């Protein structure tokens, strides 16, 4: 395996995956939709192709030109509120884009090892604490549009494994965080507000939504390492990528405030409130550890410190 193609290469995870794979000197190709964030990747040596994964002709032309030995399919709608606000687009991109990829592999180069990135969201809410941690054999019970689209591509990918014996790997990453993530996501949103307070650009008030939910957070640098391990050490299957424990949003906020050393007031922002219909979620990474040796290495405290410092640098500190 020498040539690896990344869809969504310009995104938060894609940029870290490029760094991870470059360490092993793979030849990289990438498909990108948002040109505004691609300039820094032009220096990485990857062969870059613009387009939309739903545009079969453009997508297939890029794949046919690069002829990858392996593919990591990151492209998609990744923000739950965005998917909920435009369900048709979420279905179009997440499911049809994935089918375009799988069909190219099946018809054009069936020996291409392919990681389809699903999500830990496919498990939904546990019926009770006894159903946690979620394992790869836990029932799928998606609770929102985003999770439903991921469940559909998860099921579709299984058919390509069972019917055509393709080397498809279904990865189910749980929440992942790190420096450079959009402030649409909670850890980055908190860190951005606190960095603005430190820089004198915001009054010392942090506006928050629900703080009671507990989620399984992994550092994006651990997640991309898991993708590399899967590419190098397994042929197909389903694998959770997670930390194996739950942390409340309140703990996340308290930790970032503690790192900052500033006194802040916490205010509930009604616009940020969403129903907490899934109070606690965490997964098991036993299977990926058994098959590849992977386990999370970066503690959440380091992740949160790095995220805060990334935002502080943005504001000149």
Query: Each residue of 110-155: pLDDT tens digit?
Result: 999 999 999 999 999 998 889 999 999 999 999 999 999 999 999 9
Same domain, 128 and 262: no
pLDDT at 276: 52
Boundaries of domain holding 305? 186-213+246-281+301-314
Q: How far is CA 277 from CA 13, 127, 253, 280, 293, in A?
A: 27, 12, 20, 9, 34
Q: Tell me the C-alpha distance between 7 and 65, whole Å.
A: 14
pLDDT at 79: 87
Same domain, 193 and 117: no
**Tokens matching residue 220:** 């994006």
pLDDT at 56: 98
**Tokens matching residue 271:** 């616009």
pLDDT at 268: 87
Number of domains in the chain: 2
Same domain, 258 and 126: no
- Per-residue pLDDT tens digits for 267-281: 988 877 666 567 899
| Residue 279: Cβ within 10 Å count | 15
Same domain, 10 and 57: yes
The answer to whether residue 89 scores a pLDDT higher than 90 is: yes
Buried b vs exposed e over 143-160: b needs ≥16 C-beta within 10 Å? ebbbbbbbbbbbebbeeb
Same domain, 119 and 256: no
Same domain, 14 and 133: yes
Same domain, 202 and 236: no
Task: Tell whether pTM > 0.85.
Answer: yes
DSSP bridge pairs for 237: 169
Same domain, 238 and 257: no
Per-residue DSSP letter, 283: B
| Residue 110: Cβ within 10 Å count | 13
Q: How confident is the model at residue 45 (pLDDT cuts 50, 70, 90)?
A: confident
The CATH number of residue 265's host domain is 3.90.25.10
Q: Check: CB of residue 145 under 8 Å from CB of residue 33.
A: no
DSSP bridge pairs for 71: 5, 114
Q: Which helix (H) or strand (E) holds 47?
A: strand 47-50
């Amino acid at each position: 395996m020498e040539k690896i193609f990344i869809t969504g290469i310009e995104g938060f995870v894609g940029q870290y995956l490029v760094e991870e794979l470059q360490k092993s000197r793979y030849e990289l190709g990438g498909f990108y939709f948002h040109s505004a964030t691609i300039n820094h990747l032009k220096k990485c040596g990857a062969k870059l192709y613009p387009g939309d994964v739903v545009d079969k002709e453009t997508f297939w032309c890029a794949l046919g030109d690069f002829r990858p030995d392996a593919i990591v399919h990151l492209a998609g709608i990744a923000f739950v509120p965005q998917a909920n606000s435009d369900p048709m687009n979420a279905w179009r991109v997440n499911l049809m884009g994935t089918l375009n990829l799988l069909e190219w592999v099946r018809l054009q180069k069936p020996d291409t090892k392919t990681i389809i990135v699903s999500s830990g969201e496919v498990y939904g809410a546990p019926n009770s604490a006894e159903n946690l941690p979620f394992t790869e054999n836990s029932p799928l019970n998606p609770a929102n549009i985003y999770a439903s689209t991921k469940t559909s591509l998860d099921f579709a990918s299984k058919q390509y494994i069972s019917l055509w014996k393709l080397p498809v790997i279904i990865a189910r990453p749980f929440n992942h965080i790190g420096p450079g993530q959009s402030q649409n996501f909670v850890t980055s949103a908190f860190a951005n507000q606190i960095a603005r307070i430190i820089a004198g650009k915001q009054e010392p008030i942090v506006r928050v939504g629900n703080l009671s939910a507990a989620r399984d957070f992994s550092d994006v640098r651990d997640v991309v390492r898991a993708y590399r391990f899967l590419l190098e050490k397994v042929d197909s299957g389903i694998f959770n990528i997670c930390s194996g424990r739950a942390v409340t949003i309140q703990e996340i906020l308290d930790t970032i405030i503690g790192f900052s050393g500033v006194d802040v007031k916490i205010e509930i922002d009604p616009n940020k409130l969403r129903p907490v219909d899934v109070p606690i979620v965490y997964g098991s990474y036993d299977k990926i550890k058994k098959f590849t040796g992977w386990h999370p290495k970066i503690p959440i405290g380091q992740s949160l410190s790095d995220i805060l410092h990334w935002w502080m640098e943005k504001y000149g500190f």
